[in-house]
């Protein structure tokens, strides 16, 4: 199902990964960017092809997340790419949706998503604090959904960062202690 929606499927056990970028090209060497909203449309088509994603909370969470992502129209005059990734389990019972886009212009949309999704205020504040200290050019937003109704989401800065600054993203506890010791 997903294979007909996403052109570049690469097997990777236990998941399949598809990558959509506004600068990708199709077989006719026409950029997808020239077709208004093509990567976003492919994401919607992928979602619609999976029955359990049409249900209640899963659908609402996904729709809320999609609204937080800049559209091609938002970036049209800026010539800035958005990356889209869909990671699907081989049983099609878990899916991770991820996108990367310019931080400086769309951070507020992402913060709003986490607020509306009910993320703890401390986590939202951490996002703002980390963004201020690292000042990344790009930011990544992701959600992970499961057929059993599992919903999770997060953010990342897919840029090099000083170790001390990156360490601040970790909550106090054993994982952070192990990383500091390392």
| Chain centroid, CA 90 distance in Å | 20
pLDDT higher than threshold 50 for residue 175: yes
Q: What is the pLDDT of residue 18?
A: 44
Which of 38, 49, 61, 24 is closest to 149 using CA atoms? 61
Above pLDDT 90, what percent of the chain? 31
pLDDT category of residue 82 using cuts at 50, 70 and 90: confident
Q: What is the pLDDT of residue 77?
A: 67
Q: What b-and-e string marks burial along 88-98, b requiring 16 or more CB atoms within 10 Å of the CB?
A: beeebebbbbb
CB under 8 Å to 156, separation ≥6 — which residues? Answer: 139, 140, 142
- Between 162 and 65, name the one with better pLDDT: 65
The residue-averaged pLDDT of 116-126 equals: 89
Q: What is the pLDDT of residue 30?
A: 31
51 token code pair: 């029955």
The residue-averaged pLDDT of 99-114 equals: 85
pLDDT higher than threshold 60 for residue 13: no
CB under 8 Å to 18, separation ≥6 — which residues? Answer: 2, 5, 6, 7, 8, 9, 10, 46, 85, 86, 88
Per residue in 24-46, pLDDT (tens digit) is 333 333 333 333 467 778 888 88
DSSP-based three-state secondary structure for 164: helix
The residue-averaged pLDDT of 98-127 equals: 87
CA distances from 6 to 1, 20, 21, 43, 62 (A): 9, 8, 11, 8, 18
Strands, E, within 45-118: which ranges? 83-89, 94-102
The residue-averaged pLDDT of 94-100 equals: 93
CB under 8 Å to 116, separation ≥6 — which residues? Answer: 64
């Amino acid at each position: 199902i997903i294979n007909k929606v996403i052109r570049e499927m690469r097997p990777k056990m236990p998941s399949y990964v598809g990558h959509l970028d506004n600068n990708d090209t199709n077989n006719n060497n026409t950029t997808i960017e020239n077709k208004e909203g093509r990567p976003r449309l492919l994401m919607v088509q992928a979602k619609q092809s999976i029955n359990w994603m049409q249900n209640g909370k899963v659908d609402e969470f996904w729709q809320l997340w999609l609204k937080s992502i800049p559209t091609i129209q938002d970036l049209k005059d800026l010539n800035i790419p958005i990356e889209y990734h869909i990671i699907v389990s081989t049983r099609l019972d878990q899916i991770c949706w991820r996108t990367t886009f310019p931080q400086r212009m769309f951070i507020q949309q992402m913060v709003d998503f986490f607020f509306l999704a009910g993320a703890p205020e401390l986590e939202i504040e951490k996002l703002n604090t980390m963004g201020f200290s690292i000042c990344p050019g790009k930011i990544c937003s992701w959600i992970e959904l499961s057929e059993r109704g599992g919903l999770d989401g997060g953010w990342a800065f897919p840029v090099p960062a000083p170790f001390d600054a990156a360490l601040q993203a970790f909550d106090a506890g054993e994982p952070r202690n192990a990383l500091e010791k390392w």
